[in-house]
Amino acid sequence: MIAFHGLPGFLTRRLPSLRHLRPIPKPGAERNSHFRWLIAPTVPALAFAVRTTAAALLALVIALWMELDDPQWAPMTVWIVAQGSRGESLSKARWRIVGTIFGVISSITLIAAFPQQPWLFFPALSIWLGLCCMMATLVHNFRAYALVLMGYTCAIIALGAQHDPEHVFLIAMSRATYIYLGIACEGVLAALFAHNLAEMAHRTMRAKLRSALISVTGAIGPLLEGHPQAIVRSRSLFGPLLSINDQIEFSEVEMGPHAHEGDHARAALAAVSVLLSRGLGMAVRLQALGYAHQIFRQTAEKMQALLSSVPTRLETDEQLHELHGDLQLLRAECRQRVVDSLISESDLEWPRDEQQVSDLLDQRILHNALDELIGELEVALREFEASHSAIPGDHFRFRLQSHRDWRDACYNGIRAGMALLIASQVWLITAWPAGQGFITFVGLVCGLFATRENPIVATMAFLKGSLIAALVALITEFLILPTAENWEMLVAILTLPMIAGGLASRNPSTALPAIAYTLLFPNFVHPINTGRLNEIAWFNSTIAILLAVVVAVLAFRTILPFSNVAERWRMRRMMLQDMQALAAAQPIPQTHDWTGRNIDRFSRVIRHAGPTPSPTIEGYLQGTLATMTIGLNVIRLRNVLERGQLSSGARRGIEAVLERLARFTGHHEQTARSARIATQALRRHEAKEANLTTRIELTRAIAYLIVVSNELTANAVFLDTSKPYRAPE
């Protein structure tokens, strides 16, 4: 009997012919695929592992040559700083220097404030670590790392100096030396492999922006066609846009001294995000007004043809300029269609057919919306061009706002502070000889967890990596290192375990455990100049570190534990509160600020959803997108009022909608009804208005109100904050 390995039984029984069978894999192939990252690594992963291992071992050898008392901290710093790209490594190294400086200052301050006063010193140290972890939760990229570093560097230095407070400055300089040595070694080795770094950074940034433009313009075409799955596919693009925005900062670091290309790149991404939201708003208008307007269909087909040509026309600046010209022509055609519609309406014989008048207004609404969509695309293309061109005298600045959860930040700070306080009390009560290292690593691990959005996932992965590092170090320390007689043998022994850790850190499925492995393995081996640790000392120090990891894991799982459900609930309330504030905030908020915060929220929901999003998660994604769309149209309505082109009668309807939104309690019916009433009133005003500029403004206002009313109705369950959200069955 033949067994078809790798195929489910029910499939093998139902396959109609042997030609559909896949090749039979070799025995053990499925098992080996889990270790492909180690057995057959990619070239970039192998290069990173070898380069970082060389830097770590160089730092270790120099630290031994300098006869530093804890040389293992130098290679540990190398592994902490090393990142996949040169820009990330440079950025992290810079912020590590900043964090170390402030950590040194705070440690000296604490020792000076509480000499020989452990019952005051440890609570103060816990509060400081908690504050650093709290603030780290509110910022992005390696600024968060600098803040947590301020906390646990203070703990490392202060704990090392508490028995000898008079020499705290020398101890601080010693600890700082390890860090700067590790940064220097990593930087030198990485620089040797970095050729044409600035030029490559410019190319990378342009390529990422180009991919974002291609993805979004490719999504707008199906939206204009009314494809049923277009909206679902389009919303998945917001997460990659935010990821590209984070990477721009690292490209700026790689470029070295530069103009404002990074600011223009962020502005281009913001314009692309708003462009995608306009495309989604366009789809809502088409659903509300219908797809049967033949004249608009002709214009939309021209727009789709232009969008399909975007990938090839972004290759060179000449083609980009041609694209600008074609877009301007199509935009002029949209405006001409609006004028033609007004002329056709004026030519209607009295009594005029109300349906014809309504159809002509619908055409103007759609053409005006398409005109604004093209305008947003032009902004994105201009910023895209500016992002790879140095503009003389340019002082442009641009930053996207992000979501900040103050409650989550406070919880992070409380967890870290309580964990350190509990660990310190254990040491004070038991007088454990290895207690100092135990407390030190509790602070370090808690600081690392604080930079994670979902620390519960990170904690178990870190514990797993710590246990693997301890096991590998046990074998190395007791079976291999006793034969080492000089630093050359030490380097040869540690090379392979470190390279394996570097490869694991480049593999997505093993990246989190690899953080613990690469960080703790040098400390578990603990190479020193004066000899070797005896067995008892090794087990004591290793068990202390492992227990520190366990305490940190338990703290983050038991003290105000992170909850995806609670975070989504807070995020939902904050979104609706922000939307409520948009209707009355002064000055009028910027669209890119509103878009940036909501894209960040959108991406958090995706990241925390797991591999198989539930219907509730899908509902949150749709609701977040709808809230962002409503908010953008609220801002546009306020801009219409700000321009002062509307009569007092027309303004009253819009102001009534904004007033209801400013008092929005989550019950959508009255607000949606108010928007529909205002839409009908503005239609009547538009039909009677003689001034063409005012009619165009009324057309814009009607288009925005249509989106607001439809999104309020379609997302009624999500917008009702009186109860937790449950996806409709």
Residue 10: what pLDDT?
A: 35
Most confident range (mean pLDDT) of 7-11, 152-156, 213-217, 327-331 is 327-331
Q: Three-state SS string across 62-91, please? A: HHHHCCCCCCCHHHHHHHHHCCCCHHHHHH
Q: Whose CA is closest to 148, among 167, 128, 166, 165?
A: 128
Residue 380 pLDDT > 70: yes
Higher pLDDT residue, 25 or 21?
A: 25
Asked if 516 contacts 437 with a C-beta cutoff of 8 angstroms, the reply is no
Residue 332: what pLDDT?
A: 92
Residue whose token pair is 């940190």: 552
Cα→Cα distances 628→274, 368, 543, Å: 10, 21, 50
Residue 218 to residue 477: CA distance in whole angstroms: 57
What are the φ/ψ torsions at residue 422 (nearest 5 degrees)? -65, -45
Residue 87 pLDDT > 80: no
Whole-structure pTM value:
0.78
**Residue type at 461 in one-letter notation:** A
473-491 average pLDDT score: 79
Alpha carbon 174 to chain centroid, angstroms = 36
pLDDT digits (tens, 9 = 90+) for 408-459: 889 889 989 999 999 988 888 888 888 888 988 898 888 888 777 777 777 8
Residue 328: what pLDDT?
A: 92
704-721 average pLDDT score: 85
Name the region of 560 (left: φ>0; alpha: ψ -120 to 50; beta: rest).
Answer: left
Contacts of 631 by beta carbon, 8 Å cutoff, 6+ apart: 578, 579, 582, 594, 598
148-167 average pLDDT score: 84
How many of the other CB atoms lie within 10 Å of CB of 356? 12
85-101 average pLDDT score: 80
pLDDT digits (tens, 9 = 90+) for 516-570: 999 899 888 888 766 666 778 888 888 999 999 999 888 888 888 888 788 888 8
Asked if 380 contacts 213 with a C-beta cutoff of 8 angstroms, the reply is yes
Contacts of 623 by beta carbon, 8 Å cutoff, 6+ apart: 572, 715, 718, 719, 725
Asked if 725 contacts 715 with a C-beta cutoff of 8 angstroms, the reply is no
Alpha carbon 204 to chain centroid, angstroms = 18
Domains in the chain (CATH in brackets) are 45-195+403-558 (no CATH), 197-386 (1.20.58), 564-719 (no CATH)
Asked if 179 contacts 77 with a C-beta cutoff of 8 angstroms, the reply is yes
367-382 average pLDDT score: 89
Work out the mean pLDDT of the chain and round it to a whole number: 81
Residue 157: what pLDDT?
A: 86
Residue 607: what pLDDT?
A: 72
Residue 432 to residue 422: CA distance in whole angstroms: 14
303-312 average pLDDT score: 89
Higher pLDDT residue, 523 or 487?
A: 523
Structure tokens at 484: 């080492």
Residue 42 pLDDT > 70: yes
Residue 113 to residue 116: CA distance in whole angstroms: 10
500 falls in which pLDDT band (50, 70, 90)? very high
| CA dihedral of 718, 724, 727, 728, whole degrees rounded to 10 | -80
Residue 481 pLDDT > 80: no
578-601 average pLDDT score: 85
205-214, 436-445, 481-490: range with lowest mean pLDDT: 481-490
38 falls in which pLDDT band (50, 70, 90)? confident
358 falls in which pLDDT band (50, 70, 90)? confident
Higher pLDDT residue, 6 or 326?
A: 326
DSSP helix/strand/coil, 403:
coil
135-144, 254-263, 380-389, 634-643: range with lowest mean pLDDT: 254-263
Residue 443 to residue 438: CA distance in whole angstroms: 9
137-143 average pLDDT score: 80
Residue 621 to residue 605: CA distance in whole angstroms: 7
Residue 282 pLDDT > 60: yes
Contacts of 47 by beta carbon, 8 Å cutoff, 6+ apart: 193
